[in-house]
Amino acid sequence: MGQFSLVPKHTAVLTMDVQNAIVSAYAKDRTDFLERAAGVMKEARKLGMTVIHVRVGFRPKLPEVSSNNPLFAAIKNSPQHQAIFEGEGGEFHALVAPQADDIVVVKHRVSAFAGTDLEMILRAKGIETLVLFGIATGGVVLATLLEACDADYRLIVIADCCVDSDASLHTCLTEKLFPRRATVTTASEYLSAVQAVEGWSDSPTV
């Protein structure tokens, strides 16, 4: 893992689109990544980091969706696709469900920033570093990383807590594109690094 500067009170962990129906569609037989993600969030809460859960959600009849957007218009035009984000299917997977002090952000586009109050929350809490993971690598992780990079956040991507239906795309992004803009690591490497450091409250670490 590359070197990075991380102060827990100025760090947020973003778990993105880890909803039951999306997990079933992208990672039905690969749910081991959820246990790794749960470990990252557990350590984040222990160290006083902000934990933010990002989910896809819509109002009835999807007024947030434009017919000019081919991806989301397909959802708007399909009751079957809409059902993915309703009820139990739209809820966070139990292994990574929000806890009492966690924050939930609802989005209507691919990026966690597009049309949400995520930026306001991060600025209000003085967040400088984002730890990113979720589903899919080539969707919300990529879109959020690019926007966050342009907004000058320090970025850490937990590669083995990200999943994509296209394994080659996941590999290309995590090994070639993401490292140009972020520190890319695994859950075990990340946890070993943060757990090995003392004096968390004010000083940059790792």
pLDDT digits (tens, 9 = 90+) for 44-80: 999 999 999 999 876 677 666 677 777 665 676 667 6
Per-residue model confidence (pLDDT) at position 201: 47
In a domain, 69, yes or no: yes
Which token pair is 165? 């239906």
Residue-range definition of the domain harbouring residue 154: 8-195
Give SS3 for 22. helix
Which token pair is 122? 């991060």
In a domain, 118, yes or no: yes
d(CA 73, CA 5): 40
In a domain, 3, yes or no: no
In a domain, 1, yes or no: no
Per-residue model confidence (pLDDT) at position 74: 64
d(CA 41, CA 47): 10
In a domain, 20, yes or no: yes
Give 120-169 pLDDT, tens digit per residue. 999 999 999 999 999 999 999 999 999 999 999 999 999 999 999 999 99
Nearest residue to 93 via CA among 47, 140, 36: 36
Question: Where residue 30 sits, what CATH number does that domain have?
Answer: 3.40.50.850
Greater confidence (171 vs 82) lies with 171
In a domain, 204, yes or no: no
Which token pair is 135? 């589903």
Per-residue model confidence (pLDDT) at position 64: 67
Per-residue model confidence (pLDDT) at position 92: 94
Per-residue model confidence (pLDDT) at position 77: 62
Give 166-187 pLDDT, tens digit per residue. 999 999 999 999 999 999 999 9
Give 17-54 pLDDT, tens digit per residue. 999 989 998 887 777 999 999 999 999 999 999 999 99
Tally Cβ neighbours within 10 Å of residue 192. Answer: 13
Give SS3 for 129. strand
d(CA 112, CA 181): 17
Overall number of domains in the chain: 1
**Cis (ω within 30 of 0) for the bond into 136?**
yes
Which token pair is 95? 């292994």
In a domain, 205, yes or no: no
Q: Find out whether 91 and 20 touch, Cβ atoms under 8 Å.
A: yes
Which token pair is 116? 């949400």
Give SS3 for 136. coil
In a domain, 84, yes or no: yes
Residue 141 CA neighbour count, 13 Å, CB half: 29
